[in-house]
Amino acid sequence: MIEEKTLPYICHVFVCTNDRHGERKSCADGNSSSVLSLLKDAIAEQGWKGRVRVSQSGCLGLCMKGPNVLLYPQKIWFSSVAESDVPDIMKKIELIVAE
Ligand code: FES
């Protein structure tokens, strides 16, 4: 029997790590696994675990603009994300957490 709940997180961060191994562009071409790790570490460092969740995701449909990172339920979409963009994403999450 299914169970329905409201989202337990203030913000759920999805990082596409889909890898097509060069057959076609995919977020893994832009080192998205590293972006995922950096975001997870930064969220843990801030003590936001339980309030902000970072999950890897499969293809989100905008592969040509990858790596892609989404924030839900805020409907914020970052494209062409590099490891150096993690601090900017964290600033955005900080504003969400502070609301
Ligand atoms: S491979 Fe990441 S959006 Fe498609």
Residue carrying the six token digits 């040509």: 64
Question: Helix, strand or coil for residue 22?
Answer: coil
Among 35, 56, 63, say which to mutate for ligand 1: greatest number of ligand atoms within 8 Å of CB: 63
Q: What is the pTM of this model?
A: 0.95
Residue carrying the six token digits 């905008």: 62
Indicate the CATH number of 11-98 among 2.60.120.10, 3.30.2230.10, 3.40.30.10, 3.40.50.300: 3.40.30.10
Ligand 1 mean position, distance from CA 19 (Å): 8
Per-residue pLDDT tens over the stretch 8-17:
999 999 999 9
pLDDT in the model for residue 53: 98
CA distance 45 to 28: 25
Per-residue pLDDT tens over the stretch 25-73:
999 999 999 999 999 999 999 999 999 999 999 999 999 999 999 999 9
Question: At what angle are helices 32-46 and 86-98 packed, to 10 degrees?
Answer: 40
The structural domains of the chain, with segments of one domain joined by +, span 11-98
| Alpha-carbon distances, residue 48 vs 14, 75, 76, 97 (angstroms) | 16, 19, 19, 8
